[in-house]
Copies of this chain bind each other. A is one copy, B any other.
Amino acid sequence: MSAKRTLHHFPLDPASRQVRLAMAEKKLAYEEVIERYYEGRPEFKALNPSGLTPVLVEERDGDRIVICEARAILEHLEETEPEPALLPRDASRRAEARRLMQWFDRKFDFEVNAFLIHEKMEKRLLRLGAPDYAAMRQGREGLRTHMTYLETLAEERNWLAGGRITLADIAGAAHLSIIDYLGDVPWRDFPAVKTWYMKIKSRPSFRPLLGDRQPGLAPAAHYADLDF
């Protein structure tokens, strides 16, 4: 029997976006609950003690399972809804896709998000005061280093981990899409990354993300354009 799914997510959270994209690629229906994680809603902390999005709740035949954190959800979906596969079958390619997932979730998160998303969005949501311009500059420098590396991948490969779309593309696009909302991606200098991003941005799975708006924080003018 198919499961009833509810996804607790925050629209401008890169981890939540990875799950929304993967579920849409797998054509899995779900109800959504928007969690303003920075408000610390007690019912949400009861679901996930870390207080972080995303959390997926699955109900099937009277059973209810709660899956917290993007990586756990993505691996679970590959195991339980294997088609279409978002991880390659071959162990070496599979490892390459997972390497890149970790690249975005740890390295990009530390070197880019922790500065740009934190200064431009989180400080506002958490009322932590004005952005620190030196930190924003450091985030933009980190972003250029990441874009330079991604450009070498995108020049060589159709998708980031090889010939087909995988969770590596989903992770990369989810992270970059938030930085793009904030208007900080220097697309002009990285044409191969731009071509890759246009390709994933044009997929039906991406469309809901382009409609996301955070009150008080307007997206960059080109954010929702497929031709940017």
Contacts and interface: CB of A to CB of B under 8 A. Distances in A.
Interface string A33-50: 000000000000000111
Nearest to A98: B72
Contacts of A67: 95, 98-99
A144 interface: no
Interface residues of A, number: 30
Nearest to A92: B65
Nearest to A66: B95
Given A79-B91, A95-B67, A107 B50 contact: yes
A80 B91 contact: yes
Contacts of A106: 69, 105-106
A103 B50 contact: yes
A73 B96 CA distance: 11
B72 A95 contact: yes
A110 to B, nearest CB: 8
